[in-house]
Structure 1
Amino acid sequence: MAFKSGSFATFLIVCPTCFFLGIIFSMFPYDYPILWSTITTPPSHYDYLEAHLRFLHASPPLIPRILHIVIFLGLAGLITKLYKPSESNMLFDGASLVLYMCGVTVYIANIVKGLRLASAGQYGSQLASTPEERDQILGREDSLKVLSASNTILALVLVGILVLQAGQWYAERKDAQEIENLNKGDESSKKSASHKKKN
């Protein structure tokens, strides 16, 4: 039997997703001036962001372990809901799993790499040997912009997962209401038929 949207598996999906959105929101004061502000971002802002990223990357091993456990819990919830799936599970939870894996890919490919670069303080253009290579490889500011853009992409992916889970809940609720109305209609028609027979 497929898990319903009000089950513990949905809880395992929604809670980690909201947890990650909270982490990304805490980075928003750094990301907003870089990506959306019409005023030129001062160099000191990049210094603040780089110092914050170094602090994050140097956090105790317990912090990334908790983060990875929460990532695994979200993945476990999605896989659990897709065990013996219904049509609703295939549509909503299948799409949620695709988005979740996209988010994990962005995290591994961009965010972890960006944290390592910021922690080391050595960006691609600083390691290039020729001027041509410096033009082709991202420097400090561009690397930090990519990291901020990755946070935004990840936030959109996570909001998409929440929208899909809410859509599944709404669809299942509507189906249950329709079935209940049909059952009530059948009962009323049976009662009227039996009443006519008696008369």
Structure 2
Amino acid sequence: MALRYGSFATFLIVCPTSFFLGIIFSLFPYDYPILWSTSPTGSTAYDSLETHLRLLHASPPLIPRILHIVIFLGLAGLIMKLWRPSESNMLFDGASLVLYACGITVYVANIVKGLRLASGGVYGAELAASEEDVGQILGREDSLKVLSASNTILALVLVGVLVLQAGQWYAERKDAQEDESFAAVKGEGKKGATAAAKKKAN
């Protein structure tokens, strides 16, 4: 029963995490010219990214609701696995929960804010409330770069969650194999002792 419980919780963690990685991968063609391309970034790359972000932000309410439900499912899976703590849970699932929380923070603080800015089309000095704030607020290109970098950070965080879950599965599998081999050796030892005792009795 514990194995089924843990497997279902792991399913709730791995599936949402993989789902989010797929979403971030779909944004990679827009982020690549801005962050990773060796050639100078033209204005068309920023225009394409901004247009795509406006389309995402203007999506029907059902889309973000589904996204937030999937986020909650991943969080619920981590909490389920930590409900019955063990050494493996505290190490792997605790670290996974920390990374998942960091991913949610990046999503709320950077990505959601960036989507709102891109949708409004207002950047830099236009957002400044006073002359002192003019130089402290990022312009259009820098804001879009921050959003693209946030996608990369979020991808690394989610990959870390998957690596930790895979490491936990491998560690538990090795422990189970060692327990089986130890039980087999112990069983053979008992059989040998029983046979020796019968010989002495005869």
- Does TM-score exceed 0.5, indicating one fold? yes
Q: CA deviation at 1:194?
A: 1.3
1:64 is matched with which residue?
A: 64
Structure 2 residue aligned with 1:105: 105
Rounded to whole Å, the distance in 2 between the matches of 1:172 and 1:48 is: 46
Q: Relative to structure 1, is the Cα distance of residues 129 and 194 closer, same or farther in structure 2, using a 3 angstrom cutoff?
A: closer
Supply the distance in 1 between the matched residues of 2:2 and 2:12 (Cα, whole angstroms).
Answer: 15
Cα distance between partner residues in 2 of 1:163 and 1:185: 33
Q: Secondary structure at the match of 2:41?
A: coil
| 1:41 is aligned to 2:52 | no
Query: Cα–Cα, structure 1 residues 106 and 129, in superposed 2: closer, same or farther, change >3 Å?
Result: closer
- The count of aligned residue pairs is 199
Deviation of 1:193 after TM superposition, in Å, equals 1.1
Checking the alignment, whether the CA contact within 8 Å between 2:13 and 2:74 is kept in structure 1 is yes
8 Å CA contact retained: 1:126, 1:139: no
CA distance in 2, matches of 1:72, 1:161: 15
Give the number of the structure whose residues are more often helix, by fraction. 2
For residues 85-123 of structure 1, the C-alpha deviation after alignment (integer angstroms, 9 at most, x for no partner) is 111011110110000000000000000000000000001
Which one-letter code corresponds to 2:78 in the other structure?
L
**Aligned residue number for residue 187 of structure 2:** 187
Preserved CA contact (<8 Å) 1:3 1:81? no
Matches within 5 A, 1:136-175: 136-175=136-175
Is contact 1:53-1:115 (8 Å) kept? yes
What TM-score do the two structures reach when normalised by structure 1? 0.95
Please identify, of 55-64 and 36-45, the stretch whose mean Cα deviation from structure 2 is larger.
36-45
| Structure 1 SS opposite 2:39 | coil
Q: Does structure 1 conserve the Cα–Cα contact (< 8 Å) formed by 2:6 and 2:81?
A: no
Unaligned runs of 5+ in 1: none
Other structure's SS at 2:83 match: coil
Return the offset for 1:152. 0.3
Retained in 1: the 8 A contact 2:102–2:157?
yes
Superposed CA offset, 1:59-103 (max 9, x none): 000000000000000000000110021110111101100000000
Q: Given that residues 2 and 83 in structure 1 are in contact (C-alpha distance below 8 angstroms), is that contact kept between their aligned partners in structure 2?
A: no
Tell me which of the two structures has the higher relative contact order, counting C-alpha pairs closer than 8 angstroms and 6 or more residues apart: 1
Q: Which amino acid aligns with 2:11?
A: F
**Residue 138 of structure 1, CA deviation:** 0.3
Give the Å deviation of 1:134: 3.2
Q: 2:23 aligns to what?
A: 23
Structure 2 portions without partners, runs of 5+: none
The answer (yes or no) to whether the contact 2:127–2:137 under 8 Å persists in 1 is no
Asked whether the 8 Å contact 1:75–1:97 carries over to 2, the reply is yes
